[in-house]
Structure 1
Amino acid sequence: MSPVSYPLPPMAAVSTGELPVGEKWVYEPKFDGFRCLAHAVAGRARLHSRQLRSLTRYFPEIVAALAELGEDVVLDGELVVWQQGRLDFAALQERLQPSTAGAGRLAIAKPAAYVVFDLLARQGTDLRPLPWTERRGRLEGLLGARLPHGLVLMPTAADPAVGRLWMREHTASGIEGVVAKRVDQPYRAGARAWRKVKTRLTAEAVVGGVLGTLEEPEALIVGRYGAHGRLRVAGRTTPLPAAARAHLRDVLTAPAGDHPWPGVIPSARFGQRPSEPVAYVQVAPSVVVELEVDTAFEQDRWRHPARFMRSRPDLHPEEITQASSQ
């Protein structure tokens, strides 16, 4: 039996604007996936999410790969699905099927990989008190000797230039940013002691609605034009600062005729789990805004709220299409 009480709250990262640098830091790419803790003992494996919900039956191919290791281990890592040259978060979400038979079919059609970045226990020894560099060495020894199909060792680099390269050149493949870890740090369950830097991009979108009122807009609902000339919902912004609210109340107007969107919008369109539809105030789709967004863009929408930067009166709404570069 492992001495680690499983499942345990995973160690987490706090967001920061810049990569920390120095000889005590190492860097890992932040993949667009599900955080996953894994426990393999006596040839059986269990998987749990960051919120400690069981993921075991949704990913039978990963359970089999962990059992194939032939050792009692507790691992930390990221579940991902790779499709058409990039990490596909939407396909990963589809793996959460309610039926065991459906999970088995999707394991074949859309197989996942488990990208392992930490070894918390092995063969009855609790490794969490060890510094990162020793745990990493033991993880490389474990997976270097036997790497079943479906398990992947997380890349790591000591050079911050490599971390910046991941952020700058690999966003198209689904890398969201970089996680920085101290080499002398033990694994502290539940602590937010790593550093996370997300890649930030700029993009344009058309304002189609607001949360709040036209006189006091609290956040924007934005869209882009599709291939058939229809304005499709592409996301929402974070709460607007006071200066942005004052500016936007002067440029946003009520629609003069029919609006391209329904009166309420499914929450899934904003990357949220299905819940109550989002009610909003429609506005004339005549204002283009520039946004700061992250790389989580799929199915023609941003999964996370964007940050309003400024309006773009120099751009016409119909120029802003789903094919527009981020």
Structure 2
Amino acid sequence: MEFPVEVALAQPVPTLPSGPLWWFEVKLDGHRTVLWRTGETVRLQARSGREVTSSWMDVAVAGMDLPPGTVLDGEAVVVVDGRISFEAAQSRAASGPARARQLAERYPALYIVWDVLALPSGDVRARPYVERRGLLLDVLESLSRPSPIQAVSATDDAEVAQAWYDTLQDTGVEGVVCKLAGSPYRPGRSSSWRKVRHAETVDADVVGFTGSAVRPRALVVRLPDGRTALTQALSAPLAAQVSGHIAVSGPSGRARTARGDVYATVGSGLVVEVLAGTSRHSVVSVTRLR
């Protein structure tokens, strides 16, 4: 397995599936992160494949306690005043190394793990979910206590999962992820993994931006139905993250949206999450980078 790895994704659904073969995990509002414990260090990867180790150095340091060859998939989250704060996680992700260290001193991150992709013995992605869950608990048991690296809460009881969905939103739980007991870890989106969220979102490819490359004002995205749309103005943390991507890929030309807005085009590779409820319209709302 080589860095970066393509992550598994859950299919959005409106309600929890029923049946004896499903397991359920709480879905936390943070940043999707893959942790690689190599022979000498720890590397952290975003869902997009970008290396994000410098943003989450407290998690990386804790990961040094894992056996070399371990690869985990989970969510980097930040708790503020007893609640998981996506805004705090977003600020951390958008900060340079020095600022990220300052933020970590005030609000240390937790790394909530839901899957294991590899162990020192090799790649385990083809094994069933319930088997990987057991392997995950075993490898985390070896960590010193207390550790910021923790296993996600999981159950095979649909009533418990529904209670999580109904009662935990105020704590920063944004929904429930449902996984078939026998499912492998399969890159890309699969119906064997499903997610039920309080506020549903969709992913959109970024094709351009308005404003300057240093401070992009808004994005132009291609929605899942093929339409191209201009987003609402970006927040400062989002703009900082986008400018970093532009610095790497660089603008490649000029184009216009269907309604005539001029924008600078960018290379492929950047994906953002937008609120599904706004994607019917010509202006969409970006919630985070993927």
Same-fold call, TM > 0.5?
Answer: yes
**Aligned with residue 186 of structure 1, among 184, 187, 211:** 184
SS at match of 2:111: strand
Counterpart residue number, 1:304: 275
Counterpart residue number, 1:155: 153
Structure 1 residues 147 and 191, CA gap change in structure 2 (3 angstroms): farther
User: Deviation per CA, 1:268-308, whole angstroms, max 9, x where unpaired?
Assistant: 29x964789xxxxxxxxxxxxxxxxxxxxxxxxxx836479
How far is 1:72 from its partner?
2.1
User: Deviation per CA, 1:129-169, whole angstroms, max 9, x where unpaired?
Assistant: 11011111111111123256211111101011111111110
**Aligned with residue 167 of structure 2, among 166, 169, 178:** 169
User: Deviation per CA, 1:156-196, whole angstroms, max 9, x where unpaired?
Assistant: 01011111111110100011111000110111122333101
* 1:29 counterpart letter in structure 2: V
Counterpart residue number, 1:243: none
Counterpart residue number, 2:234: 267
Distance in 2 (alpha carbons) for counterparts of 1:43 and 1:118: 22
Which of 1 and 2 has greater Rg?
1
How far is 1:18 from its partner?
1.4
Q: Is 2:78 the partner of 1:81? A: yes
Taking only aligned residues, the RMSD between alpha carbons, in angstroms, comes to 2.7
CA contact (8 A) 2:53 2:60 kept: yes
Distance in 2 (alpha carbons) for counterparts of 1:147 and 1:35: 23
* 2:14 counterpart letter in structure 1: G
**Aligned with residue 138 of structure 2, among 141, 144, 147:** 141
Counterpart residue number, 1:39: 36
Structure 1 residues 175 and 24, CA gap change in structure 2 (3 angstroms): same
Distance in 2 (alpha carbons) for counterparts of 1:119 and 1:165: 26
* 1:24 counterpart letter in structure 2: L
Distance in 1 (alpha carbons) for counterparts of 2:196 and 2:10: 9
Distance in 2 (alpha carbons) for counterparts of 1:57 and 1:137: 30
Counterpart residue number, 1:18: 15
User: Deviation per CA, 1:228-286, whole angstroms, max 9, x where unpaired?
Assistant: xxxxxxxxxxx9xxxxxxxxxxxxxxxxxxxxxxxxx73329x964789xxxxxxxxxx
1:186-265 matches, within 5 Å, as: 186-193=184-191, 194-199=193-198
Q: Is 2:52 the partner of 1:55? A: yes
Distance in 2 (alpha carbons) for counterparts of 1:43 and 1:68: 11
Structure 1 residues 17 and 44, CA gap change in structure 2 (3 angstroms): same
CA contact (8 A) 1:43 1:68 kept: no
Distance in 1 (alpha carbons) for counterparts of 2:28 and 2:161: 13
Gaps of 5+ in 1: 202-238, 240-264, 277-302, 309-326
Structure 1 residues 70 and 27, CA gap change in structure 2 (3 angstroms): same
Counterpart residue number, 1:130: 127
Distance in 2 (alpha carbons) for counterparts of 1:272 and 1:167: 28
* 1:142 counterpart letter in structure 2: V
Structure 1 residues 200 and 41, CA gap change in structure 2 (3 angstroms): closer
TM-score (norm 2): 0.69
Distance in 1 (alpha carbons) for counterparts of 2:42 and 2:199: 37
Distance in 2 (alpha carbons) for counterparts of 1:272 and 1:98: 10
Structure 1 residues 75 and 56, CA gap change in structure 2 (3 angstroms): same
Counterpart residue number, 1:219: none
Counterpart residue number, 2:102: 105
Counterpart residue number, 2:93: 96
CA contact (8 A) 2:94 2:238 kept: no
CA contact (8 A) 1:43 1:70 kept: no
TM-score (norm 1): 0.61
SS at match of 2:188: coil
Structure 1 residues 71 and 272, CA gap change in structure 2 (3 angstroms): closer
Distance in 2 (alpha carbons) for counterparts of 1:200 and 1:99: 30
